[in-house]
Structures are given as C-alpha cells and as structure tokens.
C-alpha cells in the first residue's frame, strides 16, 4: 500500500483521493520510518507538498538505502526543472504536480508494478489482523451512526491507524451522507464475486473521507436482499487483513447480516439512552448476547444523551442491565450541527466533551500496550490477543 508523508490535513485529503483505499498518512520522516519498519507490503512513499524540498530529498535518499523496493514520489505544487534534477539525483521514482491527480495515480501504479515484479502480488498476505468493532443497539435513532463515524475517526488518530468504516445498515445506511461523501460504488457491487472476493475488488468500491476508507451501504433498500450473511462475513475477514480497525455501523435489529457481523466481531459497542423502551430493548439484546456466548469483556455499554433529565439515571440503567457504563455522552446540539455540516464532532471540535469521551473510548479499544491517541504514534495492532476473535467462534470451542 502507499504511504503519504503529509502533515497538512487539507493536502492529505486532497491527495488521498488519487490513492488506493487503505493508504496510510503519516506526518513526518520519523513516523514514516516507524511505519515502514512495521509493514511488509508498502510499495511507494509519497512526499507531499507541505514537506519542504530539502527534507523530501533527504527522505528519498535515505529510502533508497533502507527500502530500495519502495518507490519515492515527490509531490510539489510547482515542480521546476531544478526539482526534477534534484529528485533524479536522490533516485526518486517520479515527481508530480500536486494538482495532477491522474499523474499521481499513474506514478503510484508504476511503483506497485515495480514492487510486484520484485516481491510478488501486494496485499494478499492476510497479515494485518485488524480488530472488528460493531456498534449496535436494538433501538433506532439512539446514535449508532453518530458513534460509529466519530469512533472510526478517533481510532484513525489522524491517519496513524488504518480504519475502514462499513455501513451494514444495508437498507437505510447513512454513513456516507453523515460524512457528506457521495459514493461512486457500494458493497452490493461485489456480491456477484462472493466466491472469489478479494481486497483488490473491495478497495475499488470504497469511498475516501480524509483518513477513513468507507464501504458504503447500497443506495436502494431493495439491494439488501441480494447480500447474503456469508458475504458479510467474507468482507469483514478480508478487511481484517488490510486495516487496523474495521468499525461496523448496524441496523437496529439482530437481522441475519448483523448476526453475521457478530461472528467476526471482536468488540461490541452497545448503545442505550435514558428512556424505558430503549433500556427494555437493550436488556433483551444483552440477554441475546448472553445466550450467544458473547463475553462481557467484549461488550462496552455507551449511554448516549446521558444527561437528559427524564427520571432514569445512569445508575438505574447500570442496575437494570447489570453492566457498567463504559462511556457516557451528553446531549449536545454541537453533535447534530457538526454532522449536518459534514465535519463530525471529533474532527471539528476535538476538545468537546462528546469528542473527548469518544476519543477515550477509542483508546480503551486499542490493544493493551498500544500507544494512546494523544501520543500521535501508531498503535500496535498485532499485540492483540488472537484468542479474542469472533464472538460466536467461542461457542464452537
């Protein structure tokens, strides 16, 4: 996969449009070095326009010695003939204009071809072993999509972890609209290929939002009927090989697709609010999870709108559900406003109490020993306990 060195988020967003899903964004040479040390299939490093030319050339020169199979693409707003000459001297693969997205895509593709000629096909090694996090509630409108989107952004930690957000609300999914992106393709376009599904097909269906890769829900509700539960499982298994975290947004019901997702789920975020019908339904959901053998340590109760003065309290909910609240989010107009503006609150107001709570939840979900969000370094996805895989698989043991 490509890795882009670009500290400026606006440039990073603009350039990743030209790059394949799963592209990693890092801010500086140190992060690039750490990233390349941990990866086995990065075939090109792009040095974005915010990195000054001397630094970009120094990185290029150093990569020639340390990672000779990794292509180096220097991206400049205004590449002069001097830039081309210096780039050639340090052995860069290409110099492209920052606004030439087709040129960037072509340069990346050439680097992939060179890498594959030397090392074999990219990205089918099945090694990353990411964590599937399913956001669920048996009630509609309680904040599942809001939490899934913001949690995915928090987990990506400005691109230091690879995150894919999967919209499994297959009839009425609204992840794309929440992020104000218009998907060119959706998950349903891969159903015919279920037998030989692989990441190279899935990545062509993804939509990019800053550091996130999104697998959008079909645009028409009737397409849901064409998607089988086994296909959902296969998609999640493939994504697990390519991303550090796969965040799954769901429908408000244990339908066959959600049950299939639970087969691959490592962590479940269960959302409740302070109203009796929701708490009653969440209690039934908890009992269902109990019957399915979902262990308590993999369930995280999130109380949304936790400050609503409606007679029920957090303590009463904990007592009824026999579960501690892991995260409580207050009601805040800023949440809905941020969503309506297409900049979810974790992005637009990272210091807001709702954002802080969700960033804290993201930190809890990182594997033990991994770096926390505030450190800005990449968590170690491989430190995860392999035994904690799939809530149903435990039933079969």
Ligand X SMILES: Nc1ncnc2c1ncn2[C@@H]1O[C@H](COP(=O)(O)OP(=O)(O)OP(=O)(O)O)[C@@H](O)[C@H]1O
- Within residues 128-167, the interface with Mg ion by CB under 5 A covers 144-145
Applying CB under 6 A, what is the total number of residues that bind ligand X? 18
Using CB under 6 A as the binding rule, whether residue 365 contacts ligand X is answered as no
Rounded CA-CA distance 312/317 in Å is: 7
Q: Which residue in the shown chain puts its C-beta closest to Mg ion?
A: 145
**Residues 6 or more apart in contact with residue 243 via CB below 8 angstroms:** 22, 128, 130, 162, 163, 164, 213
331 binds, among Mg ion, ligand X, none (CB under 5 to 8 A by kind): ligand X
Per-residue contact string for residues 240-259; x = within reach of ligand X by CB under 6 A:
------------x-------
Going by C-alpha positions, the residue among 32, 107, 30 that lies closest to residue 67 is 32
Strand partners, 72: 45
Q: Which stretch binds ligand X (CB under 6 A): 57-65, 113-121, 199-207, 326-334?
A: 326-334
Q: State the Cα angle at 13 between 167 and 58, rounded to 5°.
A: 130
What's the min distance (Å) between Cβ of 268 and ligand X? Answer: 15
**Residues 6 or more apart in contact with residue 144 via CB below 8 angstroms:** 135, 136, 137, 169, 249, 250, 252, 271
Rounded CA-CA distance 188/180 in Å is: 20
- Within residues 120-159, the interface with ligand X by CB under 6 A covers 140-146
Using CB under 6 A as the binding rule, whether residue 335 contacts ligand X is answered as yes
Q: How far is CA 68 from CA 79, 124, 251, 256, 381, in A?
A: 24, 21, 47, 47, 26
Q: Which stretch binds ligand X (CB under 6 A): 108-116, 190-198, 208-216, 335-343?
A: 335-343
Q: Cβ distance 145 to 175 under 8 Å?
A: yes
What's the min distance (Å) between Cβ of 249 and Mg ion? Answer: 6
What's the min distance (Å) between Cβ of 274 and Mg ion? Answer: 19
Which CB, 7 or 360, lies closer to ligand X?
360
Which CB, 144 or 257, lies closer to Mg ion?
144
**Residues 6 or more apart in contact with residue 59 via CB below 8 angstroms:** 5, 29, 32, 45, 47, 51, 72
Applying CB under 5 A, what is the total number of residues that bind Mg ion? 2
Going by C-alpha positions, the residue among 231, 227, 228 that lies closest to residue 194 is 231
Q: State the Cα angle at 178 between 171 and 102, rounded to 5°.
A: 100
What's the min distance (Å) between Cβ of 177 and ligand X? Answer: 10
Using CB under 6 A as the binding rule, whether residue 336 contacts ligand X is answered as yes
Which CB, 46 or 151, lies closer to ligand X?
151
Q: Which stretch binds ligand X (CB under 6 A): 238-246, 330-338, 356-364, 383-391?
A: 330-338
Taking CB under 6 A as the criterion, the residue among 211, 299, 305, 366 binding ligand X is: 305
For 201, the token pair is 């097909």
Which CB, 215 or 335, lies closer to ligand X?
335
Residue numbers of the site for Mg ion (CB under 5 A)?
A: 144-145
Residue numbers of the site for ligand X (CB under 6 A)?
A: 140-146, 169, 252, 304-305, 329, 331-332, 335-336, 339, 354
């Amino acid at each position: 996969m490509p890795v882009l060195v670009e500290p400026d988020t606006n440039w990073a967003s603009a350039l990743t449009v030209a790059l394949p899903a799963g592209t990693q964004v890092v801010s500086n040479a140190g992060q690039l070095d750490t990233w390349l040390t941990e990866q086995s299939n990065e075939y090109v490093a792009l040095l974005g326009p915010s990195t000054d030319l001397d630094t970009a050339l120094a990185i290029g020169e150093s990569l020639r010695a340390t990672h000779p199979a990794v292509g180096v693409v220097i991206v400049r707003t205004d590449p002069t003939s001097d830039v081309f000459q210096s780039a050639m001297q340090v052995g860069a693969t290409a110099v492209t204009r920052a606004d030439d997205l087709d040129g960037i895509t072509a340069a990346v593709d050439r680097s992939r071809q060179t890498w594959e000629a030397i090392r074999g096909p990219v990205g089918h090694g099945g090694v990353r072993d990411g964590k599937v996090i399913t956001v669920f509630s048996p009630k509609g409108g309680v904040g599942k999509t809001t939490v899934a989107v913001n949690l995915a952004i928090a987990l990506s930690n400005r691109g230091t972890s690879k995150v894919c957000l999967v919209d499994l609300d297959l009839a009425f999914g609204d992840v794309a609209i929440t992020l104000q992106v218009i998907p060119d393709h959706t998950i349903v376009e891969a159903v015919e290929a279920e037998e030989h599904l692989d990441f190279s097909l899935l990545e062509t269906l993804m939509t990019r939002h800053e550091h996130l890769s999104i697998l959008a829900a079909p645009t028409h509700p009737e397409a849901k009927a064409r998607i089988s539960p086994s296909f959902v499982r296969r998609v999640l298994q493939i994504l697990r090989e390519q991303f550090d975290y796969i965040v799954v947004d769901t429908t408000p019901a244990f339908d066959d697709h959600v049950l299939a997702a639970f087969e691959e789920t490592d962590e479940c975020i269960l959302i409740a609010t302070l109203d009796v019908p929701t708490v009653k339904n969440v209690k039934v959901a908890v009992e269902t999870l109990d019957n399915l053998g979902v262990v308590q340590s993999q369930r995280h109760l999130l109380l949304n709108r936790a400050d609503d003065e409606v007679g029920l309290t957090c303590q009463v909910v904990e007592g009824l559900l026999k579960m501690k609240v892991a995260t409580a989010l207050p009601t805040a107009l800023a949440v809905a406003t941020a969503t309506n503006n297409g900049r979810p609150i974790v992005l637009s107001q990272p210091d807001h109490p709702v954002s802080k709570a969700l960033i804290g939840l993201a930190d809890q979900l990182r594997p033990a020993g991994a770096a926390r969000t505030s450190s800005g370094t990449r968590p170690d996805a491989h430190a995860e306990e392999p035994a904690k895989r799939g809530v149903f698989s435990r039933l079969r043991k």
